[in-house]
A and B are shown apart, each in its own frame.
Chain A
Amino acid sequence: MSVPRYWREIKYRYRLIGELCTECGAIIFPRRRLCPHCGCRELEECKLSETGTVLSWTVIQHPPKGYEKYAPYVVALIKLDDGAQILSQVVDVEPEEMRVGLRVEATFRRVREDGSSGIIEYGYKFRPIIEEP
């Protein structure tokens, strides 16, 4: 991925910034020009919840290019506490420990290494929340 293409998304990926629809109240991620639910174009930037619950998950055994050294890895569909849904890798977890309903929190990680452009990309991944005793 080219440097500008990576740079464009930094704010949103590094800080989990989405948008709030001023019409229907939906929280939208990733950002876009209009609300996919009601068509409203008045959207306000908002910070997404950094905690959520796993709705479904899988383990990628055979990755695409750029992800080889991370495989196998867990990818989950997560419902954030503010109601938005996000797709993300879940790290610091063994596949055997994964379950629907697992509580997770956002963490900042290395995501991909692009051999052609030479950039190392960072962004969000999620990890299990460790409950305090």
Chain B
Amino acid sequence: MRPVYIAGVALTPIGEHWELSLRDLACEAALKALEKAEVERIDALYVANMGAAPLQSQLHLGALMADALGLYGLPAMRVEAAQASGGVAVHEANLAVASGLYDSVLVVGVEKMSDALPLEVRSALAMAEDQEYTAYTGVTDVGLCALLHRLYMERYEAKPEEVAALAAISHEHAVGCPHAQYPFRVSVEKILSSPMEADPIHMLECSGIGDGAAALVLTADRGDVEIAASTVAVDHFFLTERSDPLILEAVRTASKRAYERAGISPRDIDLVELHDSTTIIGILSLEDLGFVEKGFGARYVSEGNVRRDGELPVNTFGGLKARGNPVGATGVYQVAEIALQLLGEAGRCQVEDAEVGVAENLGGVASTASITILRRH
């Protein structure tokens, strides 16, 4: 396998883009990334998306986006792994270049959620779970996280304000981020006084609904940012079959494999983009990525260690909570953000002297985990 580099990065602001279609969004990010990358030719296109089938009645995104970009004749495909679609698309694209099969490929993550009613979006998100026995109960994706949230607070005696601190810090980090959907501060008090979405999870502990697209060009030509590792792992699909639902086994497996491949340990990592679709998933992730012992994640966060100037900068542009969570595109945003940090192009969100960063992107309640480690050269 040969090294793979990130040649071009682009992202659109996340928000309610009434004037832009799925295609417009994807093109905006992709064309900008291609412009920056200055590669001779694109050998393959990977489109990461979760919801276009239920929300836009649109499938066949590979050929559709290739056509929109004027890329005829190449292999083009949609990669879907629920909210982990972006990370898994990066994984596939990385493999294709690392193997020597393709020299330069384009990854575009795109999602358009604001056209649909919230009810339709909830049903689309619930498609990440088994329809016959999980979604069948009427549980939502946030509802499943809520079951873990309560278990966590009971078992580890974590306080609501310790868990909620992750959302407050993420919002703090989004201030000044040009592509963030919610670039403003929200206090822990305000988060905990927001209405319940799924008890004990408050509305302001959940990521919102947004439209956005992010694009990356991966290439074998030597560049400033290398993909040091890209791994994917899956876990038992049913929460009820996991030996301990508070262990995100897919995150443990994928991250362990990624650290080995990159030849590093969690201590070598300078910044992290977490899959904080809800605060509790972010907290469990910090633990299972190996940064803090099981049961101590909430305390670690509330002590401020994950601030941009702290021991372990997390969600440096706001994470899913404040940057936004255009589900199928989110994993591509995360990798793009790590690249911007390592390139020193993070503007007001810049972390000083970062050399290694990790992005964690999850599908379902971590039924799929994708880990991408980037390193600066």
Contacts and interface: CB of A to CB of B under 8 A. Distances in A.
Contacts of B150: 56-58, 100
Contacts of B140: 60, 62-64
Given A70-B138, A73-B138, A9 B132 contact: yes
Contact of B245 (A29, A62, A77): A77
Given A65-B120, A65-B123, A73-B138, A60 B132 contact: no
Interface in B178-207: 195-201
A64 B241 contact: no
B99 to A, nearest CB: 30
A59 B138 contact: no
B113 to A, nearest CB: 14
A65 B119 contact: yes
A68 B138 CA distance: 9
B156 interface: no
B53 interface: no
B199 A95 contact: yes
B145 to A, nearest CB: 9
B248 to A, nearest CB: 16
Interface in A78-100: 84-89, 95, 100
A117 B314 CA distance: 46
A29 to B, nearest CB: 7
B324 to A, nearest CB: 19
B240 A61 contact: no
Nearest to B133: A30
Contacts of B130: 30
B138 A75 contact: yes
A87 B139 contact: yes
A75 to B, nearest CB: 5
Contacts of B196: 59, 61
B198 A58 contact: yes
B26 interface: no
A89 B148 CA distance: 16
A67 B135 CA distance: 11
Nearest to A86: B240
Interface in B198-247: 198-201, 236, 238-241, 245
Nearest to A63: B138
Contacts of A123: 136
A87 B238 CA distance: 9
Contacts of B195: 61
Interface in B118-140: 118-120, 122-123, 126, 130-140
Contacts of B200: 58
B139 A68 contact: no
A15 interface: no
B147 interface: yes
Interface string B158-190: 000000000000000000000000000000000
Nearest to A5: B132
A73 B140 CA distance: 11
B118 A36 contact: no
B253 to A, nearest CB: 16
A87 B245 CA distance: 13
Contact of A89 (B137, B151, B199): B137
A30 B146 CA distance: 22
B19 interface: no
Nearest to B154: A100
B147 to A, nearest CB: 4
B119 A29 contact: no
Contacts of B143: 58, 60, 75
B244 to A, nearest CB: 11
Q: Which of B146, B147, B240 has the most CB of A within 10 A?
A: B240
Given A9-B132, A62-B118, 5 more contacts: A58-B139, A68-B119, A70-B138, A87-B137, A112-B136
Query: Which 8 pairs between the two chains have the least Cβ-Cβ distance?
Result: A58-B146, A85-B240, A67-B138, A64-B123, A56-B147, A59-B199, A65-B123, A58-B198
Interface of A: 1, 9, 13, 28-30, 36-37, 55-68, 70, 73, 75-77, 84-89, 95, 100, 111-112, 123
